Structure 1
Amino acid sequence: MMMGSETVRGIRSATAARSREAYVTLVTNADYAMGATALARSIRLTGSRADIVVLHTGGVGAADLAPLEALDCRLVEVEHLPLSDAFNARHARGRLHADAPFTKGRKPSFHTPLDNFCKLRLWQLIDYRACIFIDADAIVLRNIDRLFEYPEFSAAPNVYESLADFHRLNSGVFVARPSLLTFEAMLHSLDRPDVFWRRTDQTFLEAFFPDWHGLPVFMNMLQYVWFNLPELWDWKAISVLHYQYEKPWEADHPKSAALRPLIDLWHAYHTGEGIPDLAALANPARAEVA
């Protein structure tokens, strides 16, 4: 199959797949390599026997990827999608953040919107019958292998400010079925004249899969729920904790005081030391954010 100058092929790492299912994440710089390390360790601790695949762009150094190799992840180097110059210009960081500014939180300086579209390379992982994609700024608190049996395309809602957001998906956790036919269709749909994906891959996936299957909010609990909707927070139910906007490895970010328990939890998973009994953690009380 051909798309423009690119032959649509499957992609795989130098190591053989050991499962027909895989958790997949994307690493585009050293910061997200740290995040992926915490994510991979958290998945391993749930007892899952699925593969963990790390898609990474060429700018990530071998030293940054080494902790992921030590956690027995399959590393797959990927290139950016073959998109037009006009598309790339519309979705470059400065242009995108000006045309669709983030008003609810702060994206860190290492956030590069065009990198997000590399996530679609998951559909080229044809070694696998099913994949669960999880953003590298998340950790898995309980085994979620049952999601491998969920339909494509399954994702949780983008709820972090109000219940009115239940109609929008968040692409930080989703269930997909690798397919070169699907990937080719995505490339055809993605880069059209003057198209603008306001929230990059998230907006695109919502449009490409308009009948997406909704996962419970606990499968992708966004960190701002901690102080915006504390009545939704239940440590006994949360399966995936997603650190949207500010990242837990950033020193003293604007929300660090309000999110301190969540930041401390991420560091425990990153180092593998002092991971607490989740059932013993206290749920949040209503608090003001500075």
Structure 2
Amino acid sequence: MSTPSPLPSGLSASRPAASHRAYVTLVTNADYAMGATALARSILLTGTQADITVLHTGGVDAAALEPLSALGCRLIRTELLDTSDAFNERHARGKLHANAPFTKGRKPAFHSPLDNFCKLRLWQLTDYESCVFIDADALVLRNIDKLFDYPEFSAAPNLYETLKDFHRLNSGVFVARPSVTTFSTMLGVLDQPDAFWRRTDQTFLETFFPDWHGLPVFMNMLQYVWFNLPDLWEWNQIGVLHYQYEKPWEEGHPRSVQLKPLIDLWHAYLDGKSIPDISLLPNPPGSKAG
């Protein structure tokens, strides 16, 4: 491993990097800290030697982060990006959801759009050579270390309803190479006059990396595929299961009945008890695979 570079101002780490590779996630409140705990446990169970690094904002108290520390995660406190007041106003929750409403699913009340841009801090983690970012509302179901060798910028399509979704990426899983130069360039593009990123970091990254490399959909399998495209679901191939829209820790959400098998699986990883053999799980109702 090369000599680590010091982290820039705005970032404060609990410990030095222990690998030249890292799985990185972002935690912005206690709910996502719980999600990240299930994610971290799922990654550890794959046998990876990469770091599990958690970027966390000021909205997360120490108690919520304790389970992540107990799992050996590297915690990095991050400040919000230094964006203009006008940018912040355009991307505030009420303003953004009014101008770009979610029509296919429901975002939970704790969704804070401005926090999403902290994902870009990943490019400041120059003590790593390669990073795989994974949203905290996801699980890793098998070893996916091969992604560290994929090029920047690699992401899976935002596939959850129809094949038309293939033209957009989903930023819940992506491969990146930290770089101070890239981060600086990003900030210059991000906060331009009147810039409005409809789906926050996702729209920005799709624009910043127009020639993004496509990962297989199984590396970011969105939960709505379970009932919208059941023939595509195959447990033996899924690397990352991503609980987009409603979260598995929300009680009685609108899709809780349809998604019960996926919700039960998430709780098994959170508790660390009775985690099933993924290869033995039944595919969704209506799937030709059965």
The reply to whether TM is greater than 0.5 is yes
Which residue in 2 is equivalent to 1:182? 182
8 Å CA contact 2:21–2:129 kept in 1: the answer is yes
Which residue in 2 is equivalent to 1:243? 243
Residue deviations 1:18-54, cap 9 Å, x none?
1000000000000000000000000000000100000
Distance 1:14 1:267 in 2: 27
Distance 1:37 1:153 in 2: 26
Secondary structure, aligned partner of 1:17: coil
8 Å CA contact 2:10–2:78 kept in 1: the answer is no
Secondary structure, aligned partner of 1:19: coil
Which residue in 2 is equivalent to 1:87? 87
The structure-2 alpha-carbon separation of the partners of 1:145 and 1:10, relative to structure 1 and needing over 3 Å to count, comes to: farther
1:149 shift after superposition: 0.4
Unaligned segments of structure 1, at least 5 residues: 1-6
Distance 1:197 1:230 in 2: 31
Which residue in 2 is equivalent to 1:262? 262
Secondary structure, aligned partner of 1:205: helix
Unaligned segments of structure 2, at least 5 residues: 1-6
8 Å CA contact 2:10–2:79 kept in 1: the answer is no
Which residue in 2 is equivalent to 1:42? 42
| TM-score, normalization by structure 2 | 0.95
Which residue in 1 is equivalent to 2:216? 216
Residue deviations 1:211-238, cap 9 Å, x none?
0000000000000000000010000100
8 Å CA contact 2:107–2:246 kept in 1: the answer is yes
Distance 1:193 1:8 in 2: 26
| Paired letter, 1:253 | H
| Paired letter, 1:218 | F
Distance 2:85 2:11 in 1: 24
| Paired letter, 1:279 | S
Which residue in 2 is equivalent to 1:120? 120
1:12 shift after superposition: 5.4
Map 1:43-192; keep pairs closer than 5 Å: 43-192=43-192
Secondary structure, aligned partner of 1:174: strand
Residue deviations 1:52-81, cap 9 Å, x none?
000000120110000000000000000110
Which residue in 2 is equivalent to 1:226? 226
8 Å CA contact 2:54–2:73 kept in 1: the answer is yes
Secondary structure, aligned partner of 2:170: strand
Secondary structure, aligned partner of 2:55: strand
Secondary structure, aligned partner of 2:13: coil
Distance 1:193 1:15 in 2: 38
Distance 2:10 2:254 in 1: 41
Residue deviations 1:72-104, cap 9 Å, x none?
000000011010101000000000000000000
Secondary structure, aligned partner of 1:236: helix
Secondary structure, aligned partner of 1:54: strand
| Paired letter, 1:48 | T
User: What is the percentage of aligned positions where both structures have the same residue?
Assistant: 74
Residue deviations 1:145-190, cap 9 Å, x none?
0000000000000000001111100000000000000000000000
Distance 2:156 2:217 in 1: 6
Map 1:5-20; keep pairs closer than 5 Å: 11=11, 13-20=13-20
Secondary structure, aligned partner of 2:236: coil
1:11 shift after superposition: 4.3
8 Å CA contact 2:27–2:60 kept in 1: the answer is yes
Instruction: Detail structure 1 runs of 4+ shifted over 2 Å in the superposition.
Output: 7-12
Secondary structure, aligned partner of 1:251: coil
Distance 2:11 2:69 in 1: 18
1:14 shift after superposition: 3.2
8 Å CA contact 1:197–1:204 kept in 2: the answer is yes
8 Å CA contact 1:137–1:247 kept in 2: the answer is yes
Which residue in 2 is equivalent to 1:26? 26
Secondary structure, aligned partner of 1:31: helix
